[in-house]
Structures are given as C-alpha cells and as structure tokens.
Amino acid sequence: MSRCKKGCNSQNRPHGAGHTYQDHYFQLAKKEGYLSRAVYKLMEIQRSYRILSRGMKVLDLGAAPGSWLQFTSKIVGERGYVVGIDIKPIEHNFPPHVSTIQGDMTNQEFVKSIVKQFGVFDVVMSDMAPDTIGNKHADSARSAYLVEQAFELAKRVLKPGGHFIAKIFQGEDTPLLVKAIREHFRKVKIVKPLASRKESKEVYILAMDRTTQSDNVDEN
Ligand SMILES: C[S@@+](CC[C@H](N)C(=O)[O-])C[C@H]1O[C@@H](n2cnc3c(N)ncnc32)[C@H](O)[C@@H]1O
C-alpha cells in the first residue's frame, strides 16, 4: 500500500493524533469553504497522481455533501463536466458544468438510466461508503459491494485510457476485487491518503489508464 507521494509524507501530517488530527481537516475544510473534510483525500491523490485535468468529464459516485464535486469542478473547468450521484440529496449550488442526481447505485434501473443519459467519462470515482454497523466483516463486505457496483458501471462508461478511483473498507474481499480491476488497467495502486484516519480501514483503489474497451451493453 502506498502513501501519496507529494505532500503526503510525515512532515505534512498535522500535529497530534486521533480526533485532533481529524479536527485539523474538519477545521481546514471549514476555513477553505469545502463541504467536507473528504476533499483533502482527493486533493492528495490528485497531487500525487494527476488523474484529473482540464476539460475532463468526471463521474463522482457517493458525492454528497459535495466537496469532491467542488474540487473536481474547479480542476476540469467550464469546458469539462462533472456528474455527482448520491442516495442522499446533494443540496449545494454548483456551477452549470456540474449536474447532481439523487439515486441508489445498487438499483440497476437507476444505473441504466445514468448510462443512457450521460454516455462515457474520462474518470469514474467513488467515495461511496455504507452506513457502518461496527462489525468490521459486515462493513467491509458492504463497502466491497458498493465498489463492485461502481466498477460494473465504470466498465460500461469509462473510456479507454480513463481512470477509476474507489474507496473501500479493506477486508477479505479486497484482494479479489483488486485482481478483477487490475485486468482492465495498466496500473493499479492501493493508496491511503494522510487525510484518511489512520485507525480507519478505508483505503482507495486507484486504477489508472484503462486498457480495455467499454462493455457493449444494450441499454434498451
Ligand atoms: C464519505 S461520503 C462522500 C463524501 C463526498 N465525497 C464529499 O466529498 O462530499 C459517502 C457517501 O456515499 C453515499 N452512498 C452510500 N451508499 C450509496 C448508494 N447505494 N448509492 C449512492 N450513494 C451512496 C452516502 O450517502 C454518502 O453521502
């Protein structure tokens, strides 16, 4: 597993641990006008791997309250386009090159409508997380299921050369899932941004440069 390369070494880790550490990102998000501390995880990944760039079309799954949308929409700019989906309403007002939709990514009819409506993307990213119940096996299985849903959609809508990022609560299903993802990308890494709490099982699967074609699925 890799820590992000740039800006992610121990010297950049804020002082303190546990909640103090969490508070740092929470406070920073407040100060910088981001809707969630989650944005700093994507920022670190972006600093190290440059997966987002101007003009890209990006699909953000599990997008509420919207900090990844805020950050991504700035990077892709007005010539790019970002679609954010969440099972919860996304209430923030975004610029016109951002569309937000409320829907459940485990509902196949809803997923079908997304494929039909938006076509292909340069990047598919998922920060989806299940409501945790405190049982690490159940939580990681539910998280793996959400990653599977995101990956199934990515196989349908991600352009060759495109990138896929997905948060997962590591567990026994993770290696198999990573193996399946690896078959479609030139490079796959497991990254743990510093902004992700150390004690959390959360990591990000970062799959770069899709090597396969989009799945041909009849959407009618
Ligand atoms: C950690 S939050 C995402 C934070 C977001 N990246 C941001 O920057 O504001 C995880 C999100 O996943 C969403 N989620 C969980 N299950 C989902 C599902 N089946 N379909 C769509 N969204 C889901 C939750 O509603 C929650 O808003």
| CATH code linked to domain 10-210 | 3.40.50.150
Q: How confident is the model at residue 15 (pLDDT cuts 50, 70, 90)?
A: very low
Instruction: Give pLDDT, residue 2.
Output: 64
| Chain centre distance of CA 1 | 17
CA of 11 relative to ligand 1 center, distance in Å: 30
pLDDT > 90? residue 1: no
Cα–Cα distance between 152 and 107 in angstroms, integer?
12
Instruction: Give pLDDT, residue 163.
Output: 98
Cα–Cα distance between 153 and 18 in angstroms, integer?
35
pLDDT per residue as tens digits for the range 122-169: 999 999 999 988 888 999 999 999 999 999 999 999 999 999 999 999
Q: How confident is the model at residue 216 (pLDDT cuts 50, 70, 90)?
A: low
Alpha helices of 50-132 — where are they, by DSSP H?
Answer: 67-76, 108-118
pLDDT per residue as tens digits for the range 55-66: 999 999 999 999
Query: Among the options 155, 167, 189, 192, which is catalytic?
Result: 167
Pocket of ligand 1 (CB under 6 A): 35-36, 38-39, 62-68, 85-88, 104-106, 127-130, 146
pLDDT, the chain, mean: 90
Exposed/middle/buried for 36, CB within 10 Å: 0-12, 13-18, 19+? middle
Instruction: Give pLDDT, residue 148.
Output: 98
pLDDT > 50? residue 107: yes
pTM for this model (two decimals): 0.91
Cα–Cα distance between 70 and 98 in angstroms, integer?
9
**Tokens encoding 180:** 């399946």
Instruction: Give pLDDT, residue 74.
Output: 98
Question: What percent of the chain has a predicted confidence (pLDDT) above 90?
Answer: 82
Instruction: Give pLDDT, residue 50.
Output: 97
Provide the residue ranges of all domains of the chain, joining segments of one domain with +: 10-210
CA of 164 relative to ligand 1 center, distance in Å: 16
pLDDT per residue as tens digits for the range 167-209: 999 999 899 999 999 999 999 999 999 999 888 899 999 999 9
Q: How confident is the model at residue 215 (pLDDT cuts 50, 70, 90)?
A: confident
Q: How confident is the model at residue 9 (pLDDT cuts 50, 70, 90)?
A: very low
Cα–Cα distance between 176 and 155 in angstroms, integer?
17
30 is catalytic: no
Please state which of the ranges 52-56, 102-106, 152-156, 214-218 shows the lowest mean pLDDT. Answer: 214-218
**Tokens encoding 71:** 């950050």
